[in-house]
Amino acid sequence: MVDRSVGRTRAAVVGTGLIGGSLLLGLRAAGLDVAGWDPDPTTRAQAREQGATSPDRLDDAVADRDVVFLCGPLPTLPETLLRVAALTGDGCVLTDVGSTKAELAGFADGHGLAHRFVPGHPMAGTDRAGLTAAVPGLFETAAWVLCPTGPGLPAFRWLAGLLLAAFRSRVVPMSASGHDAVVALSSHVPHLLAGALAGAVHRAELGDAVLALAAGSFRDGTRVAGSPPQRTANMLLGNREQVLRQLDGVRAYLDELAGALRADDPAGLVGLYRGAATARTGLDGRTLRAAARDFPLRDTGDAELAYLLALGADGGHLSGCRVADGRVTYTAHLPTAVL
Amino acid sequence: MVDRSVGRTRAAVVGTGLIGGSLLLGLRAAGLDVAGWDPDPTTRAQAREQGATSPDRLDDAVADRDVVFLCGPLPTLPETLLRVAALTGDGCVLTDVGSTKAELAGFADGHGLAHRFVPGHPMAGTDRAGLTAAVPGLFETAAWVLCPTGPGLPAFRWLAGLLLAAFRSRVVPMSASGHDAVVALSSHVPHLLAGALAGAVHRAELGDAVLALAAGSFRDGTRVAGSPPQRTANMLLGNREQVLRQLDGVRAYLDELAGALRADDPAGLVGLYRGAATARTGLDGRTLRAAARDFPLRDTGDAELAYLLALGADGGHLSGCRVADGRVTYTAHLPTAVL
């Protein structure tokens, strides 16, 4: 964190598949000095063919960097975090892009890394995989969850500023457990429902006819059921408790819908669908208002942390984070209903 | 059924909203002599403004027609069927476009209309409603379910030929109850799942944050939850028993997925998702092979009926239906896995 101007920042990306590779290309396009490393020699060679720096040894890639992005598969991240922490100075910010956050955040905390590890999760991806599918613009204006903590506030501010400058991301500050609960509903449970619907058709006697008459609702509702099964299984297992907890809420609503249908109760059904339509309409109809807030840097940080976590929980995000004159100034965007 | 060449056929459409209006425009574009009628005077005036024939009295619209398409809201169809049957000759084929079939088919049978009422359901529509949203090309190459019965075979053959000639539809022959079971899975249960997911988010404490981080899986999986609640409720109530029955199968699969997740069983999850992926991949990867079959007209019709119902149940459709020299010749398309 010696040099805070984006253009001079030295970054490293460990694990250069789709996400890490896109970061490697995107950070370079933003003017950073960036090195990538991947355990696979072929991937390292591909990165070099694309003009990126990708040394053969991990320590050559991460030594003397201001920030290292950990981008390997979820189960490998704890070990990678320890390796990279040992190879970098205490001022080097570490972050990851894994799809769940609480487990790794707790692991980092337990290893005394909470002051420089900022759990992260960019909400971007494609149906493809690998460095050859990477694109530098993958994160432009995407939502990017970062998990601030008391000891990690300075690292959070710096990393948020970097992502905003490099990618114009919508930085969403959230607690690690809050993030995991939210993505359980916004991504993981939808995968369960899609799997159940497509799976039931796979088993149904009339399955072939169902495919022949598939309406848009079926096509949309089963799309992610066509994803690679192993990848989906890993994702769900990585957020097991939260997925099961949020599934209970969805099942409860489904039970009420089925109950109203069984009872031949049009008013009950309409009422339940009104609630559903409100949420769905909110997805495309969200209007946000900007508001600035600043905090003194020489403070406990409690008020700043509470502000940030409330912002993310309320569906808001940051578009600005500036540290100057002993204060941090955030530009926040909140749904108007909440403001 | 006096004149079987499409160009000279006299058709009527009763109820000229989105579907009926598109039929009115589409049949006219195909060269038929077609009249439309709607209980709403404004809609009739709109139809005339578009150059269509739309008399003020129902009997003027349907008298002396070869075929009448009943296109009003589902609950109005039994009464409309009886009115139109009384206003038309015994050789006039009657059909409908309602989203469920068993109830109306039974009603028609009970009123001695099985020989000339062919239950139908074109799988086409848009998110809009009303004659102003109607487009003549709505049914081009769409799947169009028709329900043949023993006494209704001649009417089925003639109507299938008309739809194939006018719209190049994929005519899917199905029993009325088979149709209702299939659309329960291919359309109605997906609406329940979408409602449950969006409804649970509406209730969730972190609902705003879920919308802010909505992944493609959530966006796709909740799309139809934004439909008008009353319309969705009517659709589900119109196919109540089948929807509840098919929902059981989906819930059973969901239970197995949740059980494998709870048991931390990657192999179990992967196996279940393999089945789901097979069905979903089949949606876009269906390859069909054409095969012709013919039957003597002067027969019990049992073999022909069995052939037609098996074709639809297996996910196939008709692209040709020709009656000549005392025989009917069908051109069928069946998924290669079934052939």
| ipTM confidence | 0.88
Q: With a cut of 90, say whether residue B228 has pLDDT above it.
A: no
State pLDDT tens for residues B106-132.
999 999 999 999 999 998 866 567 888
> Binning pLDDT at 50, 70 and 90, where does residue B140 land?
confident
Tell me the percentage of chain B whose pLDDT exceeds 70: 96
Residues 6+ apart with CB under 8 A from A321: A157, A160, A161, A164, A171, A328, A329, A330, A331
* Averaged pLDDT, B297-320: 95
Show the beta-strand stretches assigned E in chain B.
10-14, 33-37, 67-70, 93-96, 117-118, 120-122, 143-146, 170-173, 288-296, 317-324, 327-335
- Interchain contact, A199 vs B246, CB within 8 Å: no
Residue B338 has a pLDDT of 53
Name the helix (H) or strand (E) containing A230: helix A229-237
Rounded distance between C-alpha atoms, residue B156 and residue A136, angstroms: 57
User: Is B258–A250 a contact, with Cβ atoms under 8 angstroms apart?
Assistant: no
Q: How many CB pairs under 8 A join A and B?
A: 369
Which residues in chain A are contacts of B283 at CB distance < 8 A?
211, 214, 218-219, 222
Q: Check if the beta carbon of residue B225 is closer than 8 Å to that of residue B254.
A: no
Q: State residue A216's pLDDT score.
A: 85
pLDDT for the residue numbered B71: 95
The tens digit of pLDDT for each residue in A4-53 reads 456 689 999 999 998 999 999 999 999 999 999 999 999 999 999 999 99
Closest-CA distance of chain A to residue B54, Å = 31
Residue A198 and residue B226: Cβ atoms within 8 Å? no
What integer pLDDT is reported at residue A132 of this predicted model?
86
What is the average pLDDT value for chain B, to the nearest integer?
93
Which chain A residues are closer than 8 Å to B183 by Cβ? 213, 215
Find all residues with CB under 8 Å of A267, minimum gap 6, and list them: none
Which residue in B has a C-alpha nearest to residue A185's C-alpha? B210
| Nearest alpha carbon to residue A321 among A161, A170, A173, A145 | A161
pLDDT number for residue A126: 63
Using an 8 Å CB-CB cutoff, list chain A residues near B312. 209, 212
What pLDDT does A6 receive? 67
pLDDT of residue B336: 84
Contact yes or no for B20/B177 (Cβ under 8 A): no
CA-based nearest residue in chain A for residue B311: A209
Q: Could you give all domains of chain A from N- to C-terminal order, each with its CATH number? A: 6-174 (3.40.50.720), 179-284 (1.10.3660.10)
| pLDDT at residue B21 greater than cutoff 90 | yes
The pairing of strands B327-335 and B288-296 is antiparallel
In the prediction, which pLDDT does A256 show? 98
User: How many residues are listed for chain B in this entry?
Assistant: 339
Can you tell me the distance from the alpha carbon of B258 to that of B149, in angstroms, rounded to the nearest whole number?
A: 42
In single-letter form, the type of residue at position B258 comes to A
Q: Are B321 and B164 in contact (CB under 8 A)?
A: yes
Beta-strand runs (E) in chain A: 10-14, 33-37, 67-70, 93-96, 117-118, 120-122, 143-146, 170-173, 288-296, 317-324, 327-335
Residue from B74, B82, B33 nearest B58 by CA: B82
Confidence of residue A326 (pLDDT cuts 50, 70, 90): very high
Q: What is the pLDDT of residues A153-210, one digit of tens each?
A: 999 999 999 999 999 999 999 999 999 999 999 999 999 999 999 999 999 989 999 9
pLDDT of residue A135: 87
DSSP sequence for A142-200: -EEEE---TTTHHHHHHHHHHHHHHH--EEEE--HHHHHHHHIIIIIHHHHHHHHHHHH
Q: How many angstroms separate the first and last alpha carbons of chain B?
A: 34
Cβ contacts of A196 on chain B, cutoff 8 Å: 193, 250-251, 253-254, 257, 276
User: What is the arithmetic mean of pLDDT over A127-132?
Assistant: 76
Q: From the candidates B171, B261, B289, which should be mutated to test the interface with A, based on the most A CB atoms within 10 A?
A: B261
* B339 pLDDT higher than 70: no
Residue of B228, B280, B312 with shortest CB distance to A198: B280
Other beta carbons within 10 angstroms of residue B222's beta carbon come to 28
